[in-house]
């Protein structure tokens, strides 16, 4: 009787064991074994990375059963190790990546290369490749194989003689050190990026001055940078920045070179003829003037921008004869300089009478040049002695202007506050001859462009 009672119990136990075994087998079939690194494959055993489109790269595949840190590296026969991926965090899943023979940058014994080699082709030869995975518990698994690199175009896209034409520049359109030029000799056809790297890690591109050597081709190249001011953009804040060039060839090799540049007094220059709350913006001493008498004026110039504006003479207070102009006095046009000016109807040249935008007490000297500093105002005075008929109209419309020479006369600084001034012109028989006077010439010691 006992044997009959225990028989169903034995049968049930066996059935339970069979079910559990089936579940275990199913789980194993579904989820695999406990290995971390699985299904590793290298598509080709030989590649020729020379950008000819034929076996330039091979596909690497692997699976991770759980989160891990993965490295992929190759070793030559001498045991030197070259990383394709180094300690990269990866989640569980399937992975596939193309390998073109390019690994983290390295240099060969005896090589002298300017800058940093970021990525480089392996030299021709046979290598042992390794895929190594380490899970969160510190368990490491590796799989290995061999690959041959042949016919590699391993010449680096070097950027030799990388240099800046100055180490400090002042991008403010004052005509002094407003631009820099970056030069280098490129040894191989490659895509080249040149940029200023900001303190926030932003890359500000620098454009090439394309000449006889096309962009990207071997030869000497020149890049030009003005801080964006020519387009009305605000340059980077004053400070020292890396100027960087990165060359990448068709095989994926990258070389980086850099130098330092200091920006000082940078900014978009902004100034105007100040309009007072009451009274004339351009004030004359009279509304009528006789031949041989002098018409005096007063105006105020304000630098409302964030960078100094350079100016040049003649100094406020200078009196012109009406048949002179700024060239007569030796104060020729200076690119980037600002000057207050007087113009009138039918003038033979644009704004023939010009003055500095401040006197010695208003201006600050920087590197031998005179500047009206940000936030400063200066009162400008001067005069014009009428030695002949003043244009064709009478009364004569006369106005003020603020000129940024060889750059612009903005709309709100052009023909400011026109006023009619009557010139007392006698009949021809009674036309006076004005007493000659010495031309107040520019001193020879003044800065010249």
Mean pLDDT of the chain: 92
pLDDT at residue 57 is higher than 70: yes
Q: In which residue ranges of the chain is CATH 2.60.40.2550 found?
A: 37-113+120-149, 159-263
Q: For the chain, what's the residue count?
A: 449
* Homologous superfamily (CATH) for 271-430: Immunoglobulins (2.60.40.10)
For the stretch 183-230, pLDDT in tens is: 999 999 999 999 999 999 999 999 999 889 999 999 999 999 999 998
- When pLDDT is averaged across residues 415-443 and rounded to a whole number, the result is 92
Lowest mean pLDDT among 17-31, 44-58, 144-158, 181-195: 17-31
Residue 386 contacts residue 290 (beta carbons within 8 Å): yes
Phi, psi angle pair for 230, to nearest 5°: -60, -25
- When pLDDT is averaged across residues 402-431 and rounded to a whole number, the result is 93
CATH number for the domain whose boundaries are 37-113+120-149? 2.60.40.2550
Q: Hey, what long-range contacts does 191-194 have (CB within 8 A, 24 or more apart)?
A: 191/216, 191/247, 191/248, 191/249, 192/157, 192/159, 192/216, 192/221, 192/245, 192/246, 192/247, 192/248, 193/245, 193/246, 194/223, 194/243, 194/244, 194/245
Considering Cα of 206, then 211, then 215, then 218, what sign does the dihedral take?
A: negative
- When pLDDT is averaged across residues 66-90 and rounded to a whole number, the result is 97
pLDDT at residue 449 is higher than 70: no
Burial (CB count within 10 angstroms: exposed 0-12, middle 13-18, buried 19+), residue 207:
exposed
pLDDT of residue 31: 46
pLDDT of residue 159: 98
Considering Cα of 205, then 209, then 212, then 218, what sign does the dihedral take?
A: negative
pLDDT at residue 23 is higher than 80: no
d(CA 284, CA 296): 6
3-state SS, residue 22: helix
**CA separation, residue 387 to residues 95, 345, 400, 445 (Å):** 89, 17, 21, 30
pLDDT band at 12 (very low <50, low <70, confident <90, very high): low
- When pLDDT is averaged across residues 264-283 and rounded to a whole number, the result is 95
pLDDT band at 404 (very low <50, low <70, confident <90, very high): very high
Nearest to residue 260, comparing CAs of 172, 168, 192, 178?
168
pLDDT of residue 340: 98
- When pLDDT is averaged across residues 380-394 and rounded to a whole number, the result is 90
The DSSP element (H or E) to which 8 belongs, if any, is helix 2-31
pLDDT of residue 50: 93
- When pLDDT is averaged across residues 374-391 and rounded to a whole number, the result is 93
pLDDT band at 343 (very low <50, low <70, confident <90, very high): very high
| Neighbour-count burial for 401-417, b at 16+ CB within 10 Å, e otherwise | bbbbbebebeeebbebe
Q: Is pTM, for the whole model, over 0.75?
A: yes
Our separate counts of H helices and E strands in the chain read 1, 32
pLDDT of residue 211: 86
pLDDT at residue 8 is higher than 80: no
CATH topology of domain 159-263: Immunoglobulin-like (2.60.40)
pLDDT of residue 446: 62
Nearest to residue 264, comparing CAs of 208, 180, 197, 206?
180
pLDDT of residue 56: 94
């Amino acid at each position: 009787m006992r044997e009959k009672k225990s028989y169903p119990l034995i049968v049930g136990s066996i059935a339970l064991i069979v079910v559990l075994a089936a579940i275990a087998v199913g789980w194993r079939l579904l989820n695999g074994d406990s290995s971390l690194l699985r299904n590793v494959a290298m598509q080709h055993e030989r590649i020729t990375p020379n950008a000819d489109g034929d076996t330039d790269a091979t596909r690497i595949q692997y699976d991770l059963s759980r989160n891990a840190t993965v490295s992929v590296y190759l070793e030559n026969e001498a045991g030197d190790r070259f990383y394709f991926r180094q300690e990269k965090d990866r989640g569980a899943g399937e992975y596939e990546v193309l390998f073109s023979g390019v690994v983290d940058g390295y240099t060969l014994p005896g090589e002298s290369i300017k800058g940093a080699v970021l990525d480089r082709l392996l030299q021709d030869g046979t290598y042992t490749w390794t895929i190594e995975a380490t899970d969160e518990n510190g368990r490491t698994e590796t799989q290995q194989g061999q690959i041959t690199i042949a016919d590699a175009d391993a010449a680096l896209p070097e950027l030799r003689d990388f240099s800046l034409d100055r180490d400090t520049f002042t991008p403010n359109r004052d005509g002094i050190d407003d631009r820099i030029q970056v030069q280098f000799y490129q040894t191989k056809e490659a895509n080249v990026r040149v940029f200023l790297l900001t303190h926030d890690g932003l890359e500000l591109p620098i454009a090439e001055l394309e000449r006889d050597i096309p962009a990207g081709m071997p030869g000497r190249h020149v890049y030009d940078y003005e801080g964006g001011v020519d387009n009305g953009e605000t340059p980077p804040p004053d400070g020292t920045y890396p100027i960087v060039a990165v060359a990448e060839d068709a095989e994926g090799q990258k070389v980086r070179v850099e130098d330092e540049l200091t920006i000082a007094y940078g900014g978009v220059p902004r100034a105007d003829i100040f309009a007072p709350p009451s009274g004339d913006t351009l004030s004359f001493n009279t509304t009528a003037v006789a031949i041989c008498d002098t018409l005096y004026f007063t105006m105020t110039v304000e630098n409302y921008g964030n960078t100094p504006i350079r100016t040049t003479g003649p100094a406020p207070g200078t009196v012109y004869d009406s048949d002179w102009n700024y060239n007569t006095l030796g104060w020729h046009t200076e690119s980037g300089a600002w000057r207050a000016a007087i113009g009138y109807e039918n003038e033979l040249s644009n704004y023939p009478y010009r003055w500095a935008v401040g006197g010695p007490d208003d201006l600050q000297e920087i590197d031998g040049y005179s500047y009206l500093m940000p936030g400063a105002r200066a009162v400008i005075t001067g005069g014009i002695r009428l030695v002949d008929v003043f244009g064709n109209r009478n009364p004569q419309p006369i106005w003020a202007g603020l000129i940024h020479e060889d750059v612009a006369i903005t709309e709100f600084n052009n023909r400011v506050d026109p006023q009619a001034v009557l010139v007392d012109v006698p009949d021809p028989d009674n036309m006076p001859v004005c007493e000659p006077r010495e031309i107040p010439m520019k001193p020879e010691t003044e800065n010249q462009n």
